């Protein structure tokens, strides 16, 4: 088993039974995202935009994160985060 596979298995066990705001298993989001610590969303988007595969993955992550219908009662903080996701999307879609 690779180091990455072991890390995912450990994280999945540690978060077993936890759900995100939309009611989905919590572990799915960090697995999809896997960002380096301390990197802003915009910095990650700029880095991902340089790689066609990373851009595609980040756009999928961004699309899911922008879907406020996953949250029963979105707060002001959720709406503020949505604005940041819109800026990320602009970076990812820029020529």
Contact 36, 70 (CB under 8 A): no
pLDDT in tens, the chain (95 residues): 788 888 889 989 999 999 987 888 988 887 777 758 677 889 989 989 999 999 999 999 899 999 999 899 999 999 999 999 999 999 999 98
Cα-flanking dihedrals φ and ψ of residue 25, to 5°? -55, 130
Helix residue ranges per DSSP H, 1-95: 3-14, 28-33, 41-49, 52-66, 76-93
Q: From its phi and psi, is residue 36 left (phi > 0), alpha (psi between -120 and 50) or beta? A: beta
pLDDT value for 35? 57
Domain ranges of the chain: 1-34, 39-94
0.85 exceeded by pTM: no
**42 touches 88 (CB < 8 A):** yes
DSSP 10-37: HHHHHTTT-B-TTSSBTTHHHHHH-PPT
């Amino acid at each position: 088993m690779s180091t990455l596979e072991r890390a995912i298995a450990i994280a999945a066990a540690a978060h077993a039974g936890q759900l995100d705001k939309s009611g989905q298993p919590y572990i799915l989001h960090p697995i999809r995202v896997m960002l380096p610590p301390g990197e802003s969303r915009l910095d990650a988007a700029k880095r991902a935009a340089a790689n066609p595969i990373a851009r595609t993955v980040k756009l999928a992550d961004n699309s899911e994160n922008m879907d406020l219908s996953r949250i029963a009662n979105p707060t002001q903080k959720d709406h503020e985060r949505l604005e940041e996701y819109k800026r990320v999307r602009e970076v990812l879609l820029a020529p």
